[in-house]
Amino acid sequence: MTLPLADLRILDMTNVLAGPFCCYQLAQLGADVIKVETPGTGDLARQLGADPELNKRLMGASFLAQNAGKRSVTINLKSPAGKAVFLRLVASADAVIENFRPGVMDRLGLGYEALKAVKPDLVYCAISGFGQDGPLKDNPAYDQIVQGLSGVMSVTGDKASAPLRVGYPVADTFGGITAAFAVAAALFRRERDGAGEKIDVSMLEATLVSMGWAVSNWLIAGVRPEPMGNENMTASPSGTFRTGDGLLNIAANKQEQFVTLCRLIGRPELTGDARFAQREDRKRHRAALTLEIEAALATRPAAEWAALMNKQGVPAGEVLSVPEVLEHPQVEARGLIKHFPDAPGVDRKVSVVRAGFRLASGDPQPLTPPPALGADTAAIFAELGYAPADIDQLRADGAI
């Protein structure tokens, strides 16, 4: 079946994570995503990752993770000839996505108005740390900076350890997924009214929006969010518990779930204890309740408890490492991992995660491995009408 974004061309001018992650989602939905990279170096993520040898080859693990399903061209945007090539590429595109600091594209003479003159119905998306205006707009933005400014770090950890950074680039990720949603929405509207759009995505705002209750409890109820570690502020017992082997997350948030939990762990009398009888009682005495539950859980490993509780309707799950969850039968059954036996510039199988959803008409997935730097330059420029001799001259002139 045809994927939702088939026949759409998107120019990915982004680096590292937020932008590449956005464009990776669009590529999996069928868009022809063309990475426009700097000659010689390309996306900085090509030099990032846990394998130094891959970094030297400009095929770093950080790049491989977000760029399957794309094609790569190299263009020198500071060269007049390079700009002309880029504008010709824009004329063939449906969307342009960039994550330069605000003003950089305008200074290159390639801002939204300039590109709109070439492609009036263009969807243009600018991803930045803080948005295209405001007092922080010119500040450099990295994930950790945004995590700190957004309040994410203030509620991560417990009272002894907070503030803590979330263990993966959550601000970059939310910025990217927000941008992908906005671009898809703009492309959908364009199909109806033919109008293009300029999209301004702020990583700070995207992260704040994702914080949900932590923000609304302050805005609406006037309650300042506090770090609670592995506890859940809305209920108890709801958090992480020690077992006979491994940690177990339990979310017995409803009264009937708590009653079932007490029966399963052999402590039915806890439901009659005045400290634990009702939801608010349990929240006030969560530390005492945790001690009682952990004493009972010590008789079995986390995996056994999880299976028993879930079977009886009590939400529970082991606390797994990344390698453990990637090998979990649930993840394997859903086919989340896409494997490429061969990838250019890489001496091993490349495995990447697919989109976080499935479609009955055909699941989103990258169809090609991550591209080597500039691997598709000649083919794409030929599609634009450049003759081989023209492409050779552009190379000689340093335009591509």
Q: What is the DSSP letter of 270?
A: G
Contact 104, 112 (CB under 8 A): no
Amino acid letter, 206: A
As a whole number of angstroms, the distance between CA 342 and CA 387 comes to 30
Can 172 be counted among the known catalytic residues? yes
As a whole number of angstroms, the distance between CA 34 and CA 86 comes to 12
How many beta carbons lie within 10 A of that of residue 150, not counting itself?
A: 24
Beta bridge partners of 12: 35, 97
Tokens of 136: 């922080």
Q: In what order do the strands lie in the sheet with 197-202?
A: 70-74, 32-37, 9-12, 95-98, 123-128, 197-202
As a whole number of angstroms, the distance between CA 66 and CA 256 comes to 43
Select which of 172, 200, 363, 392 is catalytic: 172
As a whole number of angstroms, the distance between CA 143 and CA 33 comes to 24
Beta bridge partners of 238: 251
Question: Nearest CA to 318 among 308, 234, 256?
Answer: 308
As a whole number of angstroms, the distance between CA 308 and CA 319 comes to 16
Question: Nearest CA to 70 among 105, 118, 112, 20?
Answer: 20
Report the sign of the C-alpha dihedral through residues 54, 59, 62, 65, in that order.
Answer: negative
Q: Which residues are catalytic?
A: 172
